[in-house]
Amino acid sequence: MPTYRFYCLDGTGKLHDAEWFEADSDEQAVATIQARHPNDKCEVWRGDRLIGPPVTRSSRTHRTYT
């Protein structure tokens, strides 16, 4: 299972939470963080690849960067 890292930012753009976690896919990784941090802006990374730009529960889509 791939390993991801998320970084959540506060209202001033400063890091307030970060953690390693595992998910089955990039899409599942983003969905997991949206569910765990519904009101936060978070970035989801897999290694040095940004999977999701800052995301919130209100985001309907996310972009994948390769």
Residue 64 sits at the vertex; the CA angle it makes with 9 and 6, to the nearest 5 degrees, is 30
Gap between the Cα atoms of 21 and 11, Å rounded: 24
pLDDT of 66 > 60? The answer is: no
Please enumerate in sequence order all residues whose Cβ is within 8 A of that of 50, keeping only pairs 6 or more positions apart, or say none. 43, 44, 65
Q: Which pLDDT does position 52 carry in this prediction?
A: 86
Is the alpha carbon torsion for 21, 24, 25, 29 positive or negative? negative
pLDDT digits 0-9 by tens, 22-65: 999 999 999 999 999 888 899 999 999 999 876 655 544 444 44
CA atoms within 13 A on the CB side of 34: 18
Against a cut of 0.85, is the pTM above it?
Answer: no
